[in-house]
A = this chain, B = another copy of it.
Amino acid sequence: MSLEVEDYSVYYPLLVASGLSFIGYKITSAIIPKVKQSFIKIGLFGKDLSKVGKPVIPETIGVIPSIILVLLLFINIPLLFIKNQETSILFPHSKFSEFLSSILCLESILILGLLDDLFDLKWRHKFFLPMFACIPVLVVYYVDYGITTIMVPPFLQNENLIKLIPFIGSTYQNGTIDLKIFYYFYMGCIAIFCPNSINIFAGVNGLEVGQILVLSSIFLINDALYLFTSDLQTTKHAHIFSSTLIIQLFGCSLALYKYNKFPAQVFVGDTFCYFAGMVFGVCGILGHFSKTVLLFFIPQIFNFAYSMPQLFGLVPCPRHRMPKFNEKDGLLYTSRAILDGKTPYDRENKVKKVKPLVIVVLKLLSKVNLIDLEYDKKTGELLTCSNMTLINLVLVWSGPLREDKLCQRLLLLQFAIGICAIVLRHLGGALIYGHDNLFKVY
Asked if A143 contacts B74 (CB within 8 A), the reply is no
A80 CB to closest chain B CB (Å) equals 10
Contact residue among B70, B93, B136 (Cβ-Cβ distance under 8 Å from A103): B136
Among A108-150, those with CB < 8 Å from B are 108, 110-111, 114-115, 118-119, 132-133, 135-136, 138-139, 142-143
A83 adjacent to chain B (CB < 8 Å): yes
A70 to chain B, nearest CB (A): 7
Confirm or deny: A349 has a beta carbon within 8 angstroms of a beta carbon on chain B.
no
The reply to whether B100 and A142 contact each other, CB–CB distance below 8 Å, is no
Identify the closest chain B residue to A93 (Cβ): B143
Given contacts A74-B132, A119-B38, contact A143 B111 (CB under 8 A): no
The yes or no answer to A364 lying at the interface (CB within 8 A) is no
**Quick check: is A107 within 8 A (CB to CB) of the other chain?**
yes
A100 partner, pick from B42, B70, B136, beta carbons under 8 A = B136
* Residue contact A118 to B42, C-beta cutoff 8 Å: yes
Contact status of A111 and B67, CB under 8 A, knowing A103-B104, A143-B81:
yes
Q: A412 interface residue, CB < 8 Å from B?
A: no
Q: Does A397 make an interface contact (CB < 8 A)?
A: no
Residue pair A77, B135 in contact (C-beta under 8 Å): yes
Which residues on the B side are within 8 Å of A101 (C-beta)? 100
Cβ–Cβ < 8 Å partners of A132 in chain B = 71, 74
Shortest CB distance A88–B (Å): 13
**In the bound complex, CA of A63 to CA of B115 (Å):** 10
The answer on a CB contact under 8 Å between A111 and B104 is no
Asked if A356 is an interface residue, CB under 8 A from chain B, the answer is: no
Instruction: Answer yes or no: A78 CB below 8 A from chain B CBs.
Output: yes
| A185 lies within 8 A of chain B by Cβ | no
Question: Given the complex of chains A and B, what is the CA–CA distance between A409 and B23 in angstroms?
Answer: 51
For A107, what are the chain B residues with a Cβ–Cβ distance below 8 Å?
104, 107-108, 111
Rounded to whole Å, the gap between the CB of A78 and the closest CB of chain B is: 5
Give the docked Cα–Cα distance between A83 and B93 (Å). Answer: 20
| Residue of B whose beta carbon sits closest to that of A81 | B139
CA distance A133 to B78 in the complex (A): 13
> When the two chains form the complex, which single residue of B35, B38, B111, B118 contacts A110, counting CB atoms closer than 8 Å?
B111
Chain A residues 61 to 80 lying within 8 A of chain B, measured CB to CB, are 63, 67, 70-71, 74-75, 77-78
Chain B min CB distance to A119 (Å): 5
**Interchain CB contact under 8 A, B104 and A139:** no
A97 partner, pick from B96, B108, B135, beta carbons under 8 A? B96
By a CB distance below 8 angstroms, the chain B residues around A96 are: 97, 143
Is A139 in contact with B78, judged by CB distance below 8 angstroms?
yes
CB distance from A202 to the nearest CB of B (A): 22
Q: Is A166 an interface residue (CB 8 A)?
A: no
A77: B residues at CB distance < 8 A? 135-136, 139
A101 to B77, CA, bound (A): 11
Contact, CB under 8 Å: A135 / B42: no
A43 at the interface (CB under 8 A from B): yes
**A420 interface contact, C-beta 8 A:** no
CA distance A124 to B142 in the complex (A): 42
Q: Does A413 contact B (CB under 8 A)?
A: no
Q: A63 → chain B, closest Cβ, in Å?
A: 8
Partner of A139, one of B63, B82, B133: B82
In the bound complex, residues from chain B placing their C-beta under 8 Å from that of A97 are: 96-97, 100
Q: How distant is A131 from chain B, measured CB to nearest CB, in Å?
A: 10
Interface residues of A in 30-78 (CB under 8 A from B): 35, 38, 42-43, 63, 67, 70-71, 74-75, 77-78
Q: 15 A-B residue contacts at CB 8 Å? A: A35-B119, A42-B43, A63-B115, A67-B111, A74-B132, A75-B135, A77-B136, A78-B142, A82-B143, A96-B97, A97-B97, A100-B136, A107-B111, A110-B111, A118-B118
* Known A74-B132, A78-B142; further 17 A-B contacts with Cβ < 8 A: A63-B115, A67-B111, A70-B108, A70-B111, A78-B138, A81-B139, A81-B143, A83-B142, A97-B97, A103-B104, A104-B104, A104-B107, A107-B107, A107-B108, A107-B111, A111-B114, A118-B118
